[in-house]
Structure 1
Amino acid sequence: MPQPPPQGFRISAATGIHKGDRQYQQDQVALLQHPRIKGCLLGVVADGMGGRSGGREAADQVQLTARQLFERFDPVSDDSAALLRSVVAQAHMVIKLTAISAEQEPHSTIAAFLVLPQGDCQWAHVGDSRIYHFHKGRLIHRTRDHSYVQSLVDRGELSEEQARVHPDSNILVGCLGSEADPPLNEHRIGQLAPGDVLLACSDGLWHYFNDAELGLLLAAVSPRDAAELLVDKARSRARGGGDNLSLVVVGISPLED
């Protein structure tokens, strides 16, 4: 069985989900503990698109695929990056097959991170659901959206703040269920440490915060309180026009705390 890192740490986690001001809930979120290995967690956010039934079915398929593959995953011998690639590939294929008989075209984003007992972390994402890694409130790394406005930011034509309020901010250039293979991006954290916080969330949440705001809040309160506060603040800032929103927060703290 894998041994914990020498310094040891405590993991605390929470999830949040809200329908926002939409008629239907198409976001899905999961935080899974490994059925056999302590200290192994999988967090998954899926933002479904394609109408009432199509989007929800696509997001449900992402979560079902993630759960099934994670239950068979062996943290001792299996490749964590390969697990997440398999979740993306299999969910993408099933969503495409579903579209053949569906009246609407189901699609979904995915933002998934895997925390391993040794203290390392692997993540993968497709679309505009995001994953953030903060350390004591400072942003260490985050995903880059597969979206039209992100391409404008990358070319220097928009700032991050301008991109958040751009009228075309919801246009994706890649997602699960599309005709083309999804543009999967991966990242690995070699060693998590006390003071680290991981946040995965849909665009219905991150749209209302800049990186600094997220870092400050996540450093100040527990994951459970952070999830509640972020949902409440996003709902307030949406002013009656908010999208579905979902998030997973995992915090790392010293054992002595």
Structure 2
Amino acid sequence: MPSAATTDSTSSKGYRLTASTGIHKGDREYQQDQIALLAHPRINGCVLGVVADGMGGRSGGRKASDQVMMTCKQLFDRYSPDHDDAPSLLKQMVQESHLVIKLTAISSEQEPHSTIAAFLINPNGECHWVHAGDSRIYHFHSNRLVKRTMDHSYVQTLVERGELTEDEANVHPQSNILMGCLGAEDDPPADLHFIEMLRPGDTLLSCSDGVWHYFSPEELGSVLSSLSPREATEFLIEKARARAHGGGDNLSLVIVKFEPLGT
């Protein structure tokens, strides 16, 4: 069974926030993904979700994703929505994680790298997200896809040029080649997105490619709208495992759902 954790909190904005996280090593020998879903230590209704997919050998990839989690938690603990700028904080998470991973690489033989897909929810209902690499964030309203991140990958550039469809990109032999991530020689991308107000019926999903690779947006929307976060977490991990046919990557996901009060 997948590992899953669930939280439930009520906001003064008229919705109830329910959430779940899940992680599974898939068919790999070791786990290099890391996830976090953090409630702010001082500010009620302020939440950070992070997925990091580490790469670079058994210890290198895990070391990289661990560094992402540690850096994000430290910066989030110091964050104040009244005084700090959320996009600046998210960019700082990307840049500082990148530098720490590069310093780690100096003292090891591996080449540690990591993706990041992080979203920050403020108590007023605003949401900001940032990503680098091919871990994704999806924003659904009911079962409809509103927005998702665009991968920093070779096949995504081919899709954007019109040379591949999304379905073709999924099965392309070079689908795992990244054009940007943390710990690489070049500075990482840090694509930001802003949601002005989250509403009842909205769902955020952050996940590694070990999850999204096996589902269309329509399938994800259907699962997320019809199941609780915990049920959706378990279903998506089990279905991705089945569809991988013994060749599956590490899987990790964070789901946050905004439900009307009284449901």
Indicate if the aligned counterparts of 1:40 and 1:116 stay in contact, CA closer than 8 A. Answer: yes
Give the Cα separation in 1 of the matches to 2:144 and 2:254: 18
Q: Does structure 1 residue 206 correspond to structure 2 residue 212? A: yes
- The corresponding residue for 1:125 is 131
Give the Cα separation in 1 of the matches to 2:231 and 2:44: 24
The alignment partner of 1:176 has SS state of coil
Match for residue 12 of structure 1 among 18, 38, 53: 18
Give the Cα separation in 2 of the matches to 1:118 and 1:152: 38
Amino acid in structure 1 at the alignment position of 2:32? Q
Q: CA RMSD in A?
A: 1.1
Amino acid in structure 1 at the alignment position of 2:213? H
Amino acid in structure 2 at the alignment position of 1:30? A
The alignment partner of 1:166 has SS state of coil
Q: Does structure 1 residue 108 correspond to structure 2 residue 111? A: no
1:7 CA drift (Å): 5.0
Give the Cα separation in 1 of the matches to 2:122 and 2:14: 13
- The corresponding residue for 2:94 is 88
Give the Cα separation in 2 of the matches to 1:7 and 1:131: 23
- The corresponding residue for 1:78 is 84
Match for residue 223 of structure 1 among 229, 243, 249: 229
- 1:213-234 CA deviation, whole Å, 9 max, x = no partner? 0011000011111111000000
- The corresponding residue for 1:245 is 251
Match for residue 178 of structure 2 among 172, 175, 179: 172
Q: Does structure 1 residue 46 correspond to structure 2 residue 52? A: yes
Amino acid in structure 2 at the alignment position of 1:116? N
- The corresponding residue for 1:184 is 190
1:6 CA drift (Å): 7.4
Give the Cα separation in 1 of the matches to 2:79 and 2:159: 37
Give the Cα separation in 2 of the matches to 1:63 and 1:146: 20
Give the Cα separation in 1 of the matches to 2:134 and 2:152: 6
Match for residue 55 of structure 1 among 37, 58, 61: 61
TM-score normalised over the length of structure 2: 0.95
Give the Cα separation in 2 of the matches to 1:206 and 1:126: 16
The alignment partner of 1:84 has SS state of helix
- 1:62-105 CA deviation, whole Å, 9 max, x = no partner? 00000001011012221111111111010000101111111110
Indicate if the aligned counterparts of 2:38 and 2:49 stay in contact, CA closer than 8 A. Answer: yes
Structure 1: 5+ residue stretches without partners: none
Structure 2: 5+ residue stretches without partners: 1-9
In the comparison of the two structures, how many residue pairs are matched?
254
- Indicate the percent of aligned positions where both proteins have the same amino acid: 65
- The corresponding residue for 2:140 is 134
- The corresponding residue for 1:67 is 73
Give the Cα separation in 2 of the matches to 1:58 and 1:141: 28
1:200 CA drift (Å): 0.2
Q: Does structure 1 residue 256 correspond to structure 2 residue 262? A: yes
Give the Cα separation in 2 of the matches to 1:212 and 1:92: 33
Indicate if the aligned counterparts of 1:49 and 1:55 stay in contact, CA closer than 8 A. Answer: yes
Amino acid in structure 1 at the alignment position of 2:239? K
Give the Cα separation in 2 of the matches to 1:86 and 1:183: 12
Q: Does structure 1 residue 28 correspond to structure 2 residue 12? A: no
Indicate if the aligned counterparts of 1:5 and 1:118 stay in contact, CA closer than 8 A. Answer: no
